[in-house]
Amino acid sequence: MPQARFIAFSDGSALVNPGGPGGTGYVVLDRARPAYRFGGTRWVEDGPNAVTNNRMELRAVLEALEGLPGGEAVQVISDSRYVVDALSRWIHGWRRKGWRTASGEPVLNRDLIEALDARARDLSVTYTWVRGHDGHAVNEVVDQLAQAAARGVAGPGEAEVVAALRAEAFLAGGPPAPRSSRA
């Protein structure tokens, strides 16, 4: 299987679960350029839904996929088993059962899962789980971005993102990747 053009790392955080505030963090690398973008968002409320860790995890993936050109392959890497399993395994059964769980309860976070599913249909998305807090440099950076967003403080900057991408061999040494942006 060929390597995906885009690789997207994402993480979410809720300081109080449920209740928030919460934050998202992501780093997206375009391997064809190479170029990258990164950022995060603070969530104090989430419409009629409580701010939860799982909602922030899902929102982080949505933010990472935003703006990517249709038809492209994307590898989403998350330390959330919930995200990876919900979007690659459980979603098929939930659709068949009318968005009900195995116990017959309504699927939580259905709005975000359906939004991600719709976006993923325009792309070729694969989901990969990585162990959290296990020294993976880019996963640590997206965790820091999400935590900082939740707290409303500045998170890692471009130098930290570039260093993490290089530490995991996604970027070669030398000057920072061209056309970077902080979203």
Which residues are identified as catalytic? 11-12, 57, 79, 133, 143
Spatial neighbors of 146 by CB under 8 A, at least 6 apart, are 11, 12, 13, 23, 24, 25, 40, 56, 60
Q: Is 67 exposed, middle or buried (0-12, 13-18, 19+ CB in 10 A)?
A: exposed
3 three-state secondary structure: coil
Residue 66 vs residues 2, 90, 93: alpha-carbon distances, Å: 22, 23, 26
Q: What is the DSSP string of 20-78?
A: --EEEEEEEEETTTTEEEEE--EES-BTBBPP-HHHHHHHHHHHHHTTPPTT-EEEEEE
